[in-house]
């Protein structure tokens, strides 16, 4: 994606960049219904879209698709930007573009997430963008939860559920030499595996029956947290907390 010059028929090497003063002038005209000014704003900020979608390279998505989705986020940013806030357009536009791309990736994710959980996640994402503009910083899960009137743990669970899975070929470090990928951090077999297995079995003995059952259903049977919650008769948030607690016990013991 980084080396591709033409995306969606647009020669990215020749994209123009507008100065902040020009952006403000065009935004004012756009707010008064000037369609030509809106088109100039879009064309003048395509490089901003390009810089955002490059963050999502390596996920196997078509760059043309990501660019088009990013342009939708750009247009939403232009239509909803508030000049009275006194911030640069890019400060508002980048999170809007990122949010649109992430929504696209989530909707096209092969992992199935329940409708109710996805609705909470979407509301949380919208509230997060709104609070970032208001507070000027990343809001906490508690602040997001208060904004959409749900429990903070429900916000955490929902956002975790829709996060895109990482590719084993995701680059994690590059110091100018050979790139280290996520798969390089996955350990292989060694002489210590036998002792680690013993430690794992000992750690499992300290778990409650419910914790063992949840881990078994989640990682041996491959069931989702929502399915586990329905079968056990508790909420998904409780399943998430019990699962995390059990994994922490095992990690601490090992």
Q: Is the dihedral of CA 10, 14, 20, 25 positive or negative?
A: negative
> What residue has token string 């239509």?
79
Mean pLDDT by groups of 10 residues along the chain of 254 residues: 58 79 90 90 90 78 85 90 85 88 74 69 86 86 90 81 58 55 52 54 78 84 85 88 86 71
| Phi, psi (deg, nearest 5) at residue 114 | -60, 150
pLDDT score for 212: 86
Rounded to whole angstroms, how far apart are CA atoms 41 and 80? 13
How far apart, in whole angstroms, are the C-alpha atoms of residue 13 and residue 242?
51
Say if CB 39 and CB 29 are below 8 A apart. no
Instruction: State the Cα–Cα distance between residues 157 and 226, nearest whole angstrom.
Output: 11
The size of the chain, in residues, is 254
Give me the pLDDT at residue 183, please. 54
pLDDT, position 20: 86
Residue 173's φ and ψ, nearest 5 degrees, are: -160, 140
Burial grade of 72 (CB within 10 A; 0-12, 13-18, 19 or more)? middle
Q: Give the model's pLDDT for residue 126.
A: 87
What pLDDT score was predicted for residue 245?
A: 87
pLDDT at 25: 92
For the chain, domains (ranges, CATH) are 1-108 (1.20.120.1810), 111-164 (1.10.10.10), 191-253 (1.10.10.10)
**Residue 158: its pLDDT value, please?**
79
């Amino acid at each position: 994606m980084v080396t591709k010059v033409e995306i969606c028929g647009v020669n990215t090497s020749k994209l123009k960049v507008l100065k902040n003063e020009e952006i403000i002038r065009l935004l004012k005209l756009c707010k008064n219904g000037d369609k030509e000014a809106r088109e100039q704003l879009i064309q003048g900020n395509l490089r901003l879209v390009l810089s955002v979608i490059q963050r999502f390279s390596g996920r196997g998505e078509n760059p043309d698709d990501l660019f088009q989705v990013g342009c939708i986020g750009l247009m939403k940013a232009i239509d909803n930007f508030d000049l009275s806030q006194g911030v640069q357009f890019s400060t508002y536009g980048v999170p809007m573009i990122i949010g649109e791309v992430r929504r696209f990736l989530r909707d096209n994710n092969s992992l199935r997430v329940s409708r109710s959980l996805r609705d909470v996640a979407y509301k949380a994402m919208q509230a997060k963008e709104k609070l970032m503009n208001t507070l000027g910083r990343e809001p906490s899960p508690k602040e997001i939860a208060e904004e959409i009137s749900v429990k903070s743990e429900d916000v955490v669970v929902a956002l975790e559920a829709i996060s895109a899975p990482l590719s084993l070929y995701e680059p994690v470090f590059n110091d100018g030499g050979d790139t280290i990928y996520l798969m390089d951090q996955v350990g292989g077999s060694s002489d210590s595996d036998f002792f680690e297995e013993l430690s794992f079995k000992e750690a499992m003995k300290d778990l409650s029956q419910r914790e063992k059952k949840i881990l078994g259903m989640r990682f041996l049977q491959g069931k989702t947290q929502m399915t586990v919650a329905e079968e056990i008769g508790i909420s998904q948030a409780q399943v998430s907390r019990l699962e995390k607690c059990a994994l922490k016990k095992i990690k601490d013991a090992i």
